[in-house]
Structure 1
């Protein structure tokens, strides 16, 4: 019966969009794009409000993985650096999420779920898709070239191949034609 009640309230008709968000201009553009294309209309006659729930996920790196990237020299001093790095990463994550919240509110979207999850963004986002039963996963394109993608790994490429939903890669245009 809970399903019938939820359906009657219009809840089951709302899909879910998960947005991977970091502090880059590409993430802000993707958020802006999603808000203007999926949340601007205010819904339809059969579904009050927007047709989607919005979940914004920020993947906070694990401090030990960042120290390991620094190699043996960094790892030797890891005991002292780890608590400081962890504190800095928490502060950064809180700022990133607050910026996303403020941006949503400024665009009249206050019903948004924001989460910080520790781990590699590729895995965090694919797990969030499953957790929230997402219909769409949205990521911004950083526009890396082939070499940077090989070295850093492409979050969007990984998600496009492994997420259990549609993956939308929002690419910020370099310039807009005004013709």
Structure 2
């Protein structure tokens, strides 16, 4: 590309679920990839598979309502944390709250917004849990139609070889 040709703006999707791993991925983007003019889309999709860990066997509608209400409160707290992180970073970004299966929703949002890159954190699930409930980052990695960067956070005290 010549100097006279302006660089095309990138559309970057960062998947954030409120975990320290997703905040690490955001920080990594800010430190190493963020460029003026990039369009940043931060997507949040609650973990809809959490019901596998807490089976609901109740006829009491108020108990189900309280569970849904509690879940909604937790999601709202995460969204506030994400908004705070964006405000402190000083960059302009669009925040989308997604519904449905997280992996599928992230890929769909990236497609619909013509993303050039998806960035996600990795929780480092063990093999059994990954098999039972799946891995969002693994799904995105294998189904996205653009490059995917999975940020693996180094654990404290972990010695690299």
TM bucket (normalised to shorter chain) is 0.7 to 0.9
**Which runs of 5 or more residues in structure 2 are unaligned?**
1-5
For normalisation by structure 1, the TM-score amounts to: 0.75
Q: 1:52 aligns with which of 23, 26, 38?
A: 38
Q: 1:14 aligns with which of 3, 9, 24?
A: 9
- Cα distance 1:68–1:139, how it changes in 2: closer, same or farther (>3 A)? closer
Moved over 3 A (4+): 65-71
Decide which structure has the larger Cα Rg and report it: 1
Structure with the higher fraction of residues in helix conformation? 1
Q: 1:31 aligns with which of 23, 26, 31?
A: 26
Answer 1 or 2: higher relative contact order, Cα 8 Å, separation at least 6.
2
For normalisation by structure 2, the TM-score amounts to: 0.82
Query: Structure 1, residues 150-172: CA drift from partner, whole Å, max 9, x if none?
Result: 12211111111111111110011
CA RMSD across the alignment: 2.4
Q: Secondary structure of 2:90's partner?
A: coil
1:4 is matched with none
Distance 2:16 2:68 in 1: 19
**Which runs of 5 or more residues in structure 1 are unaligned?**
1-9, 44-49
Q: 1:145 aligns with which of 118, 123, 126?
A: 126
User: Does residue 1:75 correspond to 2:57, yes or no?
Assistant: yes
Count how many residue pairs are aligned between Structure 1 and Structure 2: 153
